Amino acid sequence: MKTLLLLISFIGSLSFAYGQMIDDNKIQFNYIQLPYLKVNPAFTKYDVKVVHGYNQGNQDALAAHELNKQIAMQVFEQQMTTHKSQCDTLDVNYFRLMAKWEKDVNAGKMQADGTPLPQPPKPIYPAPPTFPSFEAPVLNSPMDESTVLNGINIAGFEKGMGGFVVTVNILSLDNIQISESKSGTGTSTKYKYTASYSLPVEVTVETPTQGKLIYLRILEGRQSYTVGEFASSYDYKLYMLQNKAQFNANLEASARAKAVNETNEYLNDQIGFVPRTRYAEIYDVKRFKDYDYSDVTVAYTKTVQALQLVSQDRNRKSAIASIDLALADWNMIMKESNNYDNKARINDKITAMIQCNMAELLAWKGKYDESEIQVNLAISEGGKFKRHASGEQAFYADQKRRWNAHY
């Protein structure tokens, strides 16, 4: 037993002696996110036009309301005709019975026991149809265009005439449905109400040279709005009874504000040059025992310094020279890469670490195919750096798509 413990201790000491410790450094730097679509660089200004599509929705709602009234009245009139016919039939039968009864009474006829003949019972008429009630549709209120004009701001461009035109068509707030969820018990019971609705927006971006660059209806899915939380379901009913108009106004204001905000985000994603912050993990060697890793630390420092420059230009031109210096250092170190010897200075773990760092640098240089090669190599090593590289694939792929649209 003592021998076994000594052996384990010896193996552990070897592992500590040769096991390089990776320093995970979470850094942040700014960059300009390229859009998916390229507006002709000749146009640096844009004009926003607002279309009040909800007005057509109001007209459609009123027309549907009138049609429903007409149909309901037709049904009601048919039901009244049927009801009158049923009552008339009952009256005919009743009058016939009454005529016979009256004649028999006048003739002095009696029942066998000498009592007067009973009068026939009056008919039981069916309940008349209910006159239909018509609740007026909730119409969309007029929208101040400044809400849209102030809410659309496309990064990298200036508002003004003589450029491209962005048309935003605000459609109707429609199909409002309210759902209830209950939580808690006893006196802590709460009733939460959420409204789901639809409020799509049609977006058009048109340039003098490219025509319609974007022509799309967005936000077609269901949106949600929190109505409120109540101690009783009847408190909610009371609230809606007393505040229905205010609820509709609040919902409409919130839905429109959200629609404008998401339209602005969509436009910036598609054609804007948006300043973003990147949170990346860049690696260094934290602890070493038998090897000098000062060259790794120098390459790491150059990498961080290069990434701080990528926000200077859309094409990252100002950062390229620094990125190349960092890559040159990493490539020099990688000449020692030995994935078959865990005791090597640049073993499989350090190799995968460097590949992750190089993948980040190559991506910001616009060399996405080369970056992808480094990602795949790191993934093939497995372990921690496989998870890191796999987690960055979607980001690099998205940046590649954006880059390829412009360069």
CATH code at 248?
3.30.160
Q: How many CA atoms lie within 13 A of 34 on its CB side?
A: 24
Q: Are residues 310 and 388 in the same domain?
A: yes
Tell me the average pLDDT across 137-163. 96
Tell me the average pLDDT across 217-228. 96
Q: Are residues 171 and 111 in the same domain?
A: no
User: What's the pLDDT at 15?
Assistant: 38
Share the mean pLDDT of the chain.
93
Is 38 inside a domain boundary? no
User: What's the pLDDT at 136?
Assistant: 87
Q: Are residues 163 and 200 in the same domain?
A: yes
Q: Are residues 66 and 92 in the same domain?
A: yes
Is 9 inside a domain boundary? no
Distance CA(245)–CA(327), nearest Å, equals 64
Q: Which of 368, 374, 377, 376 is nearest to 396 (CA)?
A: 368
Q: Which residues fall within 8 angstroms of residue 121, CB to CB, at 6 or more apart? A: none
Q: How many CA atoms lie within 13 A of 222 on its CB side?
A: 10
Is 329 inside a domain boundary? yes
Is 253 inside a domain boundary? yes
Query: What residues are paired with 177 via a beta bridge?
Result: 196
Which of 96, 124, 140 is the C-terminal boundary of a domain?
140
Tell me the average pLDDT across 348-360. 97
Q: Are residues 80 and 64 in the same domain?
A: yes
Distances in Å between the Cα of 164 and the Cα atoms of 45, 114, 201, 212, 313 are 7, 105, 19, 10, 23
Is 5 inside a domain boundary? no
Q: Are residues 136 and 218 in the same domain?
A: no
Q: Are residues 344 and 386 in the same domain?
A: yes
Asked if 3 and 275 touch (Cβ cutoff 8 Å), the reply is: no
Q: Are residues 310 and 213 in the same domain?
A: no
Is 239 inside a domain boundary? yes
Q: Which amino acid is at 319?
A: A
Q: What is the full DSSP assignment across 35-74? A: PSS---TT--EEEEEEE-THHHHHHHHHHHHHHHHHHHHH
Q: Which residues fall within 8 angstroms of residue 233, CB to CB, at 6 or more apart? A: 180, 191
Q: Are residues 288 and 391 in the same domain?
A: yes
Q: Are residues 262 and 286 in the same domain?
A: no
Distance CA(168)–CA(142), nearest Å, equals 15
- For the segment 43-102, what is each residue's pLDDT rounded down to a tens digit? 999 999 999 999 999 999 999 999 999 999 999 999 999 999 999 999 999 999 999 999
Tell me the average pLDDT across 19-41. 93
Q: Are residues 242 and 175 in the same domain?
A: yes
Instruction: Categorize the per-residue pLDDT at 1 as very low, low, confident or very high, splitting at 50, 70 and 90.
Output: very low
The answer to whether residue 5 scores a pLDDT higher than 60 is no
The count of domains in the chain is 3
Distances in Å between the Cα of 138 and the Cα atoms of 56, 173, 176, 248, 333 are 14, 10, 11, 8, 70
Q: Which of 259, 253, 263 is nearest to 140 (CA)?
A: 253
- For the segment 98-131, what is each residue's pLDDT rounded down to a tens digit? 999 999 899 889 998 989 999 999 999 999 999 8
| Range of weakest confidence among 16-30, 221-235, 314-328 | 16-30
Strands (DSSP E) contained in 34-173 are 45-51, 158-159, 164-170
Domain around 176: 45-52+142-271
Is 39 inside a domain boundary? no
The answer to whether residue 139 scores a pLDDT higher than 60 is yes
Q: Which residues fall within 8 angstroms of residue 400, CB to CB, at 6 or more apart? A: 363, 368
Q: Are residues 209 and 296 in the same domain?
A: no
Q: Which residues fall within 8 angstroms of residue 359, CB to CB, at 6 or more apart? A: 371, 372, 374, 375, 378, 389, 392, 396
Q: Which of 199, 205, 202, 204 is nearest to 259 (CA)?
A: 199
Which of 271, 301, 322 is the C-terminal boundary of a domain?
271
Which of 226, 248, 271 is the C-terminal boundary of a domain?
271
